[in-house]
Amino acid sequence: MAITWIISAFASALGIGVGGGIAWIMKGFQRGFGFIYSLCAGLIVGLLFLEMIPESIELGGFINLAIGISIGVVLFQYIHQLMDKIVIITASYQKDIFVRSGVLLTFSIAIHNFPVGIALGPTLGTEIGELMLTTLVLHNIPEGIIVFTPLFLAGFGILTYVFITAIITFPIALGTLFGQTFNIGSSSLLAFVINLSIAIIFMIAVKEIFEEAVRNSNLLYSFVIGLFGFGIIFLYMILL
């Protein structure tokens, strides 16, 4: 039982790593900034509405979802303003958008992964736990895609790939250890933490990525490509 947190961390890293590999391949097939921004926005919105929001509602209900998202939007605005003041990363506005999006997405998914680890901890070593580990790997693949796509487009490489994977994986391991030690199951508090990350990720998709997609192409084109990205997630979830 002492190594269960290592198992959950490995499962998370595997999914995130595969998603990062797909993001690297997508980078080579991009058709301009408008296309990749729109596609990434669609992938993110699909991940939210088809996985994370249903997960949150199941844990805490609609009221918890509304409260958590409201506070998460305020938290996003604060983080966004803070990054505007302290983050000057490149000499390119395009790359700055990519980097800021990647950093915020990493932060948000790491927040989301902690309560997931807490819920996973008490079940490891059981049949349900094995099923949850498989689900964790498969569901982390699209998360890896949406995190690494903007970072790779900003010019980051293998070291960033390893570093970001570690950052996203660590909360899963910590949450699993915490959940196993205190035998904490699903609760409204876990749902609330997930809702904070949902709000931040959604605001990134709209404010940081989709608006930039429209700026680089047009609204109709961005919407159609975004819908295509949403469809990819939809098909992916059906095939799970």
List C-alpha distances in Å: 165 to 138, 180, 201, 214, 237. 15, 23, 17, 30, 22
Comparing 121 with 87, the larger pLDDT belongs to 121
6 has pLDDT over 60 = yes
Burial class (CB in 10 A: 0-12, 13-18, 19+), 88: exposed
230 has pLDDT over 70 = yes
For residues 23-46, average pLDDT? 76
Sketch the domain layout of the chain as residue ranges. 4-239
pLDDT in tens, 41-79: 888 888 889 888 888 888 788 999 999 899 988 888 887
Q: For the chain, how many helices (H) and strands (E)?
A: 9, 0
pLDDT at position 129 is 62
pLDDT in tens, 181-205: 776 655 777 788 788 888 888 887 8
160 has pLDDT over 90 = no
CA distance linking residue 2 with residue 204, whole number of Å: 37
Q: Which two tokens stand for residue 85?
A: 């003041």
Task: Convert 123-156 to b/e letters by CB count within 10 Å (16 or more is b).
Answer: bbeeeebeebbebbbbbbbbbbbbbbbbbbbbeb
212 has pLDDT over 80 = no
**% the chain with pLDDT above 90:** 11
Comparing 165 with 100, the larger pLDDT belongs to 165
What does the mean pLDDT of the chain come to? 80
